[in-house]
Chains A and B, each alone.
Chain A
Amino acid sequence: MKAEISNTVLKTLNLSIGYRKKNVVNNVASDINIEIKPGELVAVIGVNGAGKSTLLKTLSGITQPIDGEVFINELKLSKTEPDKLAKQISLVLTEQNISKNLSVIELVALGRQPYTNWIGSLTRKDLKKIMNAIQLVNIENIKNKKCNELSDGQFQKVLIARALAQETSMIILDEPTTHLDLYHKAYVLKLLQNLSKETNKAIIFASHEINLALQLCDKLVIIKDKKALSGTPAELIQSDALDDLFPEHLIHFDKKTSSFKIK
């Protein structure tokens, strides 16, 4: 029993997510029980407003859960200090308020902050980790560029490299494929798949790219009707969980090809 727990990076226990505004609790989804193991790539899918971002924000500790508990490597998320949590979870967000005056390498280097001294000076070990992260996402050729010179796809890779440099057992990405063309969407998700296998990190991301996620992910978490279902793509297809994800008059799920089709 114990061995099983220690092999789990993320585990939620009867988690309810949502947000509080003054005294009104707005419940987005409840009774969420997910388990993610090292090396797994997990997609969170659901229609707009279903609560994908809320789930990811709760898992990363930005938003407090309404009820239940999140465990990261056996640590209670609600009882973990930010500086300890920074060594467990790294984030890739859609927030566009990042200073584009940073060079690629400077931005990736910020991922080392949980490990650096009071003024943030980088040791040889830090530099090695930074270079390693840059190599893993294959951005050596742009490492000295400023972020304002990059395309959206390149910038996304830089953000992923920064998360890798943070050396955490889990990476959480909020819609990493928005603003990207089809090729780059596939490229980023394929990169995430490779990274989860190479580094044995648990990688969890929210996405609207269901067809790609079905092909690439080890597990999916579907948020629908205030509930979260999780399982392997095959399991979910088998149990017809995908069939009523969207209003059926326009899009339906085609079991033969395991993809969504327009009617």
Chain B
Amino acid sequence: MLDQKKYTFSIILLFLAVIITALVNISLGSVNIPVTEVTASLLGLDVEKETWNYIIINYRLPKAITAIITGSGLAVSGLLMQTLFRNPLAGPYVLGLSSGASLGVAVVFMGASIFGASFAAILLSKWSLVIASSLGSLIVLFAVILASIRLRDTMAILIIGLMFASLTAAIVSVLAYFSPASQLQQYVFWSYGSLGDLSWEEVFILGIFWIMGLLISIGSIKNLNSLLLGEQYARSLGTNIKKNRFAIIIATSLLAGSITAFAGPIAFIGLAVPHLVRQIIPSANHITLVPAVIFGGAILMLFCDIIAQLPGSEHSLPINAITSLIGAPVVIWLLVRKRKFNF
């Protein structure tokens, strides 16, 4: 009777689309491998050429998994932010979470040289990168939340998010000014965003953060739904507002922070995917939205990655640029065509 059942089919279709896009994503690249061979390799069967198997297992598969984690994680954190702030413009990038994460990463990359060599060894381990980045986004998010409690005006929250973005950018420039070229270069490359540079170990670390973030998000579904009525109603329905807000902040910081640490600051996905999904599945219920946004984010990121690696050529483009190049026109087109904003 309620719409959830009606949308179960759409969610299953989205899930199948994730698998198909992932297979296509793995098959295309500087060397194109037939999809049938990709499937065979993934299932552990014999593959025509041993090099294909090697490419898939060591390069393409971790990259595809990273794309799935990045897309779904950013999209879910966008959804959480939009519901928590009851603002359609909220998202990890807009609210300055990605900038906070960037600051954390900048401190790790460039601060290492400033604070001395003994620090460098500790700072440059992969875990510290994630933790610094998550902490960075956590700090910005806390500041935004504090401001939002005092201001109670959703437009002001966005402005504060933007202010934090420029503030952190300024601190990063100061750090950059004082750091040696090699480390600066490392940071600049990171800031373009990349899905393909992760080893299996790094994918594993990222995956742990991703699963923790998603589990907290799924656990918050009921409370997220009550927030659709506004905080006072949510409280009257028995929702513990403070605990719930804390859970959402932690989930968002884990997701946006860890993803930004490994894949760089990726714009657009977090803001846009929830809106794109709402166009396909016009529901406000998070039982439907959370899985749909997870799959939708994964599909969009895999698709953007297919474009970014320019199939058949040796070159690839920064993923950060592609997500906006493809996504922004799609959102504009959808909104203009529908003339209505389902939020």
Q: Do A and B come from one complex?
A: yes
A99 x B236 contact (CB < 8 A)? no
A-B contact pairs, 23 of them (CB 8 A): A82-B238, A82-B240, A83-B238, A86-B237, A93-B232, A95-B230, A97-B230, A98-B230, A99-B284, A100-B343, A101-B342, A101-B343, A102-B228, A105-B1, A109-B2, A110-B225, A110-B228, A110-B233, A113-B237, A116-B222, A118-B219, A120-B225, A122-B2
Q: Choose one: A82, A84, A122; the contact of B239 (CB below 8 Å).
A: A82
Q: Choose one: A100, A110, A146; the contact of B237 (CB below 8 Å).
A: A110
B230 x A86 contact (CB < 8 A)? no
A99 x B222 contact (CB < 8 A)? no
A-B contact count (CB 8 A): 98
- Given contacts A95-B229, A101-B343, list 19 more A-B pairs with CB under 8 A: A62-B236, A82-B236, A82-B239, A84-B238, A85-B236, A85-B238, A87-B238, A95-B232, A99-B86, A99-B228, A99-B343, A100-B343, A102-B285, A106-B3, A110-B233, A113-B238, A119-B287, A146-B282, A148-B342
Q: Given A85-B238, A101-B343, A110-B225, do A91 and B232 touch, yes or no (CB 8 Å)?
A: yes
- Tell me how many residues of B have a C-beta within 8 Å of chain A: 30
Chain A: residues with CB nearer than 8 A to chain B?
60, 62, 82-87, 89-91, 93, 95, 97-103, 105-107, 109-111, 113-114, 116, 118-122, 127, 146, 148, 166
How close is A63's CB to chain B, nearest CB, in angstroms?
Answer: 10
Q: Choose one: B232, B235, B238, B282; the contact of A101 (CB below 8 Å).
A: B282
Complex Cα–Cα for A71 and B86 (A): 33
How close is A52's CB to chain B, nearest CB, in angstroms?
Answer: 16
How close is A165's CB to chain B, nearest CB, in angstroms?
Answer: 11
Complex Cα–Cα for A62 and B236 (A): 8
Q: Top 10 nearest A-B pairs by Cβ distance? A: A86-B238, A83-B238, A120-B222, A97-B230, A99-B228, A101-B284, A113-B237, A91-B236, A102-B284, A95-B230
Task: Name B221's closest neighbour in chain A (CB-CB).
Answer: A119
B236 x A119 contact (CB < 8 A)? no
| Interface set, chain B 322-343, CB cutoff 8 A to A | 340, 342-343
| Interface set, chain B 245-304, CB cutoff 8 A to A | 278, 282-285, 287
Q: Is B168 an interface residue (CB 8 A)?
A: no
Residues of B close to A95: CB separation below 8 A: 229-230, 232-233
Complex Cα–Cα for A89 and B219 (A): 25
